[in-house]
Amino acid sequence: MSELAETAVLHEERRHSDDKTMFGFWTYIMTDCVLFASLFATYAVLHNNTFGGPSGRTLFSLPYVLVETLALLTSSFTCGLAVLAAQRGFKKQVLFWFALTALLGLVFLGMELHEFHDFVAQGASWRRSGFLSAFFTLVGTHGAHITAGLIWMITMMTQVARRGLTRGTLRRLQLLGLFWHFLDIVWIFIFTIVYLQGVSL
Amino acid sequence: MSEHAEVSTQDKGSFGLYSLGFFLSVVLTLAAYFLVQGYLRSGGTAFTRDFLIGAIVGLAVLQFFVQIFFFLHLGRETKPRWKLLVLFFMILVILILVLGSLWIMSNLNYRMTPQQINQYMQNQDGGI
């Protein structure tokens, strides 16, 4: 009887510490939002300062960015399904959904790098104007987060493949899911404020 | 196996909720996209630019709440809602940061005469 009670207490303590980790990570994500907010503010202040260089209207291709956006949105969805499968203990499904998520993330990152390369080749690099400096800083910072997320995802896939769905890997998978959803939410605002607004100026 | 269930009983989504969130997000993204495309095709005559900006920002904020609810499962937390509290604080900081910067910068623009701006730009050029 007392043994049962002890395990119950142990479970309760573990759940509590997992909740604490989740909350700590959530707080980190919120502070990261403040970082993005300051970059958004910089972009909003500088977006008209093209210094005679190209503006968003001439640079951005909306259909291209829409495909990029849908790739990231779908990856956020498949990432959610991966975490869901992890909570239910389906190891193969976890690996499948995360592989799909990583693939879509790579598509997104590849398209973004291709776009950057295109701009620089047209002479619209970050050195051209205040607008382009702010653009590359904001979108580039998001891209750096995506890169970090992809590295983390590949690490987690190896961990799950090797160790299976233990309490530790499950907790880290949930944090990764949180991080990936957050990156998609930031992208909604980049899509709206930088691209959609940029072409309609 | 039972431990898995133990660790993660609360605060979680389901396939249906994720799918609904995904569907709504796609609809909102496409709505904003076609609104802008329609505006561009009509040569900026379909509606005013202010309306367009207001509409797409509104759609983005709506999608923000959709994803917060369906993907991040906020609002289904158990009682001491710390995550929600931190989120509200973050939104407050962001509003002060973004609106404050825009206000200050537009005020500076307003208070400088074109002559002062030219003078300033020339001084800057001299430094390059």
Please report residues of A whose CB lies closer than 8 A to that of B102: 41, 44-45
- Complex prediction ipTM: 0.90
Please report residues of A whose CB lies closer than 8 A to that of B71: 76-77, 80, 181, 184
Q: Which of A70-79, A167-176, A189-198, B68-77 has the lowest mean pLDDT?
A: B68-77
Residues A35-52: pLDDT tens digits? 999 999 999 999 988 888
Residue B6 has pLDDT above 50, yes or no: no
> Distance between CA B120 and CA B100 in Å, rounded?
23
Residue type, A117: H
Mean pLDDT, chain B, integer: 84
Residues in chain B: 128
CATH class given for the domain over A27-199: mainly alpha
pLDDT category, B30, cuts 50, 70, 90? very high
Measure CB to CB from residue B83 to each of A23, A70, A189 and give the nearest one: A23
pLDDT category, B126, cuts 50, 70, 90? low
pLDDT of residue B125: 62
pLDDT category, B3, cuts 50, 70, 90? very low
Measure CB to CB from residue B98 to each of A27, A40, A199 and give the nearest one: A40
Taking an 8 Å cut-off on Cβ atoms, the answer to whether A70 and B26 are in contact is yes
Residue range B70-85: mean pLDDT, rounded: 84
Residue with the bigger pLDDT between B128 and A131: it is: A131
Taking an 8 Å cut-off on Cβ atoms, the answer to whether A199 and B40 are in contact is yes
Measure CB to CB from residue B102 to each of A44, A87, A200 and give the nearest one: A44
Please report residues of B whose CB lies closer than 8 A to that of A101: none
Please report residues of B whose CB lies closer than 8 A to that of A104: none
SS3 content of chain A, % helix, strand, coil (to 5): 85, 0, 15
Residue A180 has pLDDT above 70, yes or no: yes
Can you give the residue ranges of every domain in chain A?
A: 27-199
Residue range B52-75: mean pLDDT, rounded: 93
| A33, B71, B120 from B67: Cα distances, Å | 15, 5, 45
Can you give the residue ranges of every domain in chain B?
A: 1-78, 80-119
Residue with the bigger pLDDT between B83 and B31: it is: B31
pLDDT category, B115, cuts 50, 70, 90? confident
pLDDT of residue B112: 82
Q: Are A121 and A151 in contact (CB under 8 A)?
A: no
B interface test, pick of A15, A30, A179 with most B CB neighbours within 10 Å: A30
pLDDT category, A134, cuts 50, 70, 90? very high
